[in-house]
Copies of this chain bind each other. A is one copy, B any other.
Amino acid sequence: MKLKQFQSYLKSNNIDLVFLIHPDPNIIYFTQMKPSFALLLITASSAELYLSKLDLPPKVKGISVTFLQKDWEKRLADPKIKKIAVNKLTLSLQFAEKLKKLYPNAELVDVSSTLNELRAQKTPVEIQKITKACSITSQAFDALANRFSLQKFKTERDVAFFLEKFIREHDAELAFPTIVASGKNSATPHHVTSSAKLKPGFLQLDFGACYQQYCSDMSRSLYIGKPTKAEEEHYQLLHAAQLAPIKEVAANKPFTELDKISRKHLGKYAAYFIHSLGHGVGVEIHEAPAFSQEAKQMIKPNHIFTIEPGIYFPGKYGIRIEDTLLFNGKAKILTTASKELLSLK
């Protein structure tokens, strides 16, 4: 991906070596594979992937591949290294201590935010892959909505399995464990899909395909039976609170602004909106840009992120509507599945 751009950064910051250790999403980003175990060493002029013999070496421009030898520590140790960069978000304390021994004269700096920013603005190839992942996800939902019947789908797991089969049949993997939450279960945003019988009431889905290492993320609420007037109103309010921030997506706008717009639309129900409005999506299902107050991030070209307000009434039900979007001058919804409240039988 943006290896050269990252290498320029290393040069201008006098970083001798970047040492990335599995598991690190940046290794997936640069190699476009998910290794069993790997080290990725990047300098201003080279990139070497040390791979487990159990994996098939990837072919990536600018990255050479060596199988990891037992004595790799001895081979890589280098007292001449003065400035070494790591990803402090994933580097374990144990490995950090090992690095200090291998590079005893090196200052250790963090490149996690640099890498996160780099990855947040997607390249054309990445946009293509995420678009494809979103398209598979949307198609899976449409297929479910078309074929649903309470005779065929008896449990949460049946629904999850249908979606997952569809995704796998379209050359993709799951971006994360599929959430299917029926009735009261939907009041827990991260409900663990179970063998619980489908019940009349809201049926909450949150799932995504991962196509060639790139994720998509989508949530839809369905209804088994006929919603009450209040339920229908809650859904329509939530839908409006999801569309409102999407309409306001614009370059250099802070993500916190979008969050405020959505909560304002929810009015008194904002108290039941207990999570963030969204997050970036890429090789990780949650990556930069972050929507939090502290992150202070703003919308930039080729950011790909979710907008996903939800309201949760403890012990009753919860609903969440989520799309994955691309910002390319304006907001483009990539998860195009219908957001009408479908009434299932």
Kindly identify which residue among B88, B171, B190 contacts A93, using a CB–CB cutoff of 8 Å. Answer: B88
Measured CB to CB, the closest approach of chain B to A115, in angstroms, equals: 13
Which stretch (A51-59, A128-136, A229-237, A252-260) binds chain B? A51-59
Residues A161 and B168 in contact, CB atoms below 8 Å apart: yes
| Bound complex: CA A110 to CA B92 (Å) | 12
Residues B274 and A53 in contact, CB atoms below 8 Å apart: yes
Measured CB to CB, the closest approach of chain B to A340, in angstroms, equals: 26
| Bound complex: CA A53 to CA B171 (Å) | 34
Query: What is the total number of copies of this protein in its complex?
Result: 2
| Bound complex: CA A177 to CA B164 (Å) | 13
| Bound complex: CA A86 to CA B177 (Å) | 28
Measured CB to CB, the closest approach of chain B to A272, in angstroms, equals: 11
Measured CB to CB, the closest approach of chain B to A268, in angstroms, equals: 19
Q: Which of A15-69 contact B (CB under 8 A)?
A: 33-34, 36, 52-56
A275 contact set on B, CB distance < 8 A: 53-54
Kindly identify which residue among B33, B36, B112, B160 contacts A94, using a CB–CB cutoff of 8 Å. Answer: B112
Residues A92 and B94 in contact, CB atoms below 8 Å apart: no
Residues A189 and B54 in contact, CB atoms below 8 Å apart: yes
A96 contact set on B, CB distance < 8 A: 93, 96
> What's the interface size class on A, roughly?
35 or more
A191: interface (CB < 8 Å): yes
A192: interface (CB < 8 Å): yes
Residues A191 and B56 in contact, CB atoms below 8 Å apart: yes
A343 contact set on B, CB distance < 8 A: none
A90: interface (CB < 8 Å): yes
A12: interface (CB < 8 Å): no
A139: interface (CB < 8 Å): no
A55 contact set on B, CB distance < 8 A: 188, 190
A157 contact set on B, CB distance < 8 A: 168-169
Measured CB to CB, the closest approach of chain B to A45, in angstroms, equals: 26
Q: Assess A171 versus B190: contact at CB under 8 Å? Given A86-B93, A88-B92, A93-B88.
A: no
